[in-house]
Structure formats: structure tokens, C-alpha cells
Amino acid sequence: MPHSSPQQFLGFLLGSTHRRITTGFARALKPYDITPEQWSVLLMICDRSGISQKEVAAAAAKDQPTTARIVELLLKKGFISKSMNPGDRRAFQLYATEEGQSLIGNTLGLEQQTINTAVTGLNPQQLEELRSMLELIYHNTNHQE
């Protein structure tokens, strides 16, 4: 049986591409003392002020322990604050601090630059088709537990 290149397998190609983009973005974020994973959670909190940790986990497709760890790191770094949810005393509402909002404002361009580099050579129609296909794959792989 001939040996195959891992790149011919869609799962491998998707994973490798994701890792390369994430590595490039991590390099760009290094001076800001934040990882891409932390950045994406902070962005969500900036966009949805007062969001709960449970909502962050669901929207980011992360498990609760991972989300809790990221939230604690963002709190320690001073990028977010939390307050008791008046409707549910077991839950907290998360808010971006001015420092967190400023960091997102200063780094959104880095994320766009990273993506622009990755999609160089694709025209707008190809980009829209790619986005549509990835959304379908994402939807198809939603495993209900």
C-alpha cells in the first residue's frame, strides 16, 4: 500500500491550517501578553457586556473548566471584571474593563492582518464560499451530548 501525504486528508489539512493561523496570531499578540484563546473570549465579553461564563463557554465551543480558567486569567490581568447576576446568584456577569476594551481595539487589526495573509490569492466570491463551507462543516460536526 503506498504511503499517503497527510495533507490529502481534509481533517489534517483543516487542523494544520488552524494551527498555522493561530501560531501567527499568537506571535502578533505576544507583546500584549494575551493568547489567541484568551483574546477570543475577551472579544466576546467586549461585544456582549454582562454575558455569563456559561454563555461564553457555549458561544466559544469550549468546556466549562477551560472557560473558567480563561476567565480567571483575564481577571488577573485586569482585562475583565465580574459581578453577581441579580437573576441567578450562582452566576456572574462578565464585563470588559477599559484596559480590556483598549487591548481589543489595538489588536483587531492584527487578527485581520493574520487572516488577510492566510487568504491571499482568494477573491471575494471564493472567500464567501469558503466561509459558507466552513460554517456547514462546523454545523455538521455539532455533537449533541
DSSP class per residue in 82-113:
EEEETTEEEEEEEEE-HHHHHHHHHHHHHHHH
pLDDT of the residue at 86: 78
**Average pLDDT of the residues of the chain:** 90
Full-model pTM: 0.84
What's the average model confidence in pLDDT over 11-40? 94
pLDDT of the residue at 1: 47
Determine whether 19 is exposed, middle or buried from the number of CB atoms within 10 Å of its CB (0-12, 13-18, 19+): exposed
Does the pLDDT of residue 85 top 90, yes or no? no
Edge-to-edge order in the sheet of strand 51-52:
51-52, 88-96, 80-85
pLDDT of the residue at 43: 95
pLDDT of the residue at 114: 96
pLDDT of the residue at 142: 78
